[in-house]
Amino acid sequence: MRLLDGIKNPSDLKKLNASKMQILCEEIREELIRTISKNGGHLASNLGVVELTAVLLRCFDLPQDSVIFDIGHQSYVYKLLTGRAERFSAIRVKNGLSGFPRTYESEYDLFSSGHSSTALSSAIGLARAKLLNGDQSKVIAIIGDGAFGGGMVYEAMNTIDSSLVNLIVILNDNSMSISKSVGGISQYLLRLRTDIGYSNTKKIVRDAMDKTPVVGKYLMNTIIKSKAAFRRSIYDGRLFEEFGFNYIGPVDGHDVLELNRLFKNIKNFDGPMLVHVNTIKGKGFAPAEANPGAYHGVGQFNIPEGSKDISDEDSFSNVFGKLLMELADEDSNICSVTAAMKYATGLNFFKEKYPDRFFDVGIAEEHAVTFSAGLSRGGKKPVFAVYSTFLQRGFDQLFQDVSLDSMDVLLAIDRAGLVGEDGETHHGLLDVSILSSLNSFSIASPCNYAELEYWLREFSKQKGPRAIRYPRGREDTRLRGYSPSGDIFDLITKEKAADFLIISYGRIIAEACMAREKLVKSKIPVDILKLNIIFPIDNNAIIKASGYKNIIFLEEGSERGGINELFLKRLTDIHWKGTYKAIAISGYVKHGSVTELITDCGLDADSIVKEIKNWQI
């Protein structure tokens, strides 16, 4: 029997000695690799926090003590050790465990997290509440180095003071992001290193070693080899201490004994404390250690061979990225912007060819939006490629810095609509509601690669706020032959008059067309109004639609504030008297495959057919 099978809750970890803890960690890694190879998920980040998570839960008293993960995609080990090991094989599968912390899943999950840089704010609030309640138990926030690119972390750190005696922050530094994403910190450390006091001390030590016979040169070489670690320890500590933390580190995040000693000691210390832990992303799986970026989020893979691709070659993201690079050949003012997602959004092609016009601002979507506005004001043509779910973080900047002054900014909104296994925090269901509320944006929603290429070319020539939204992954093979008309909308109809009109856009057009075929076979004529530019709504589209008695609007996005609501308002403005129904998404959608979720939301062809047949009765 595996040790892992005997861990029903964190208290069971206290029964294990150091050697058994090490065996347990090996078992956890085997379970992670085996399960994620079948289900997909975040592999490298979880392999990197095995010892850190296991020893942390062993030393503290959960659920009295509280653990909060930033982003949360590195919480798989935590799930395994907090009573969910028996369900772990179904992680990211419909009706199975989520790949992120979810409050409905366990008492140990305190927040349903999924976006970066939020954990410290949550932890400070919870720590304050505990103290007000007379509760001295600890609040522990685990934050990756990449999260320090988000400004929210610094807003939170600005509120740290010595009264937060129950707060512990663990900085999980896997050397993947901090030097790149936190350029200001790097410059701050550089200034400290070039301080005159530091320089004078270094000279004194060097001179002394040169004058020391026999061992002087050996000692000097030893000092040179260790000075990088020495500087990091001294100066990172000074930085965080200036924000009000008591700093400890760096600590080896894979040394069970060292971590155990550390956590047992600091459990009794008064905070606020920041523990700097160094980990190796992908630890224990050679392909992931060699290329942690490729194994950050993976699909299914064969364990001996590993995951072959950093991103799917055949995808909307890469079609977009390659064409944008070509457009940049023709227009030297085109620039690309990403928030730490160059591979995932297809901008790696642009970066390779035009590095001077490529800008990765780190995990800082708010800054990316306003930065793009600044590029526009300077005469450039910025294209900000961003996941729909992450664009939500920049709403105020979209309003004030782009929309208000009609800046020449093009948004390439990736992962629009249902994204599948990452669930509630990652579905792209709000971008249409957000952008249409700002009035100034033109929004295109292509259904296939050909339309994406057409509208990207068209929008690259236009000015003002524009957005192109497209789904995750590959085009639907059912839409592969659909050629772009170049019109704002297309009416798919036959000569025989139809009482029913389906209105939709994007990839759901495939379901609409399939439903139409089935309905026609049942002697129910149906036409389709396919919106290519979904906002602003074209007057001629309203006029065309008003000629039908019954309209059903299909929208893979939020029902509230969606195009379906705006379209209905426009119809009522011209006193249309027909019957109108909308099938859109209301509430929060959990994880599952995209196909499963489309069916659950009633947007699949069979559900549409059933709706219209029942309607006809």
How is the beta sheet containing 533-535 ordered, strand by strand?
358-360, 334-338, 381-387, 410-414, 466-469, 442-444, 533-535
State both tokens at 166: 């129950």
Q: How far apart are CA 110 and CA 105, in angstroms?
A: 10
DSSP code for 401: I
Q: Which of 365, 475, 511, 565 is catalytic?
A: 365
Distance of CA 169 to the CA centre of its chain: 22
SS3 letters across 55-96: HHHHHCCCCCCEEEECCCCCCHHHHHHHHHHHHHHHCCCCCC
Active site residue 51: no
Q: Are 478 and 422 in contact, with CB atoms under 8 Å apart?
A: no
Active site residue 458: no
DSSP code for 269: S
Q: How far apart are CA 534 and CA 455, in angstroms?
A: 12
Q: Which of 58, 281, 466, 516 is catalytic?
A: 281
How is the beta sheet containing 526-531 ordered, strand by strand?
489-492, 526-531, 500-504, 550-558, 579-585
DSSP code for 508: G
Q: How many CB atoms lie within 10 A of CB 77?
A: 24
Active site residue 472: no
User: Where does residue 464 fall: left (phi above 0), alpha (psi -120 to 50 degrees), or beta otherwise?
Assistant: left
Q: Which of 380, 393, 469, 530 is catalytic?
A: 393
- 590: which residues sit within 8 A by CB, 6+ positions away? 94, 98, 423, 424
As annotated, the active-site residues are 281, 365, 393
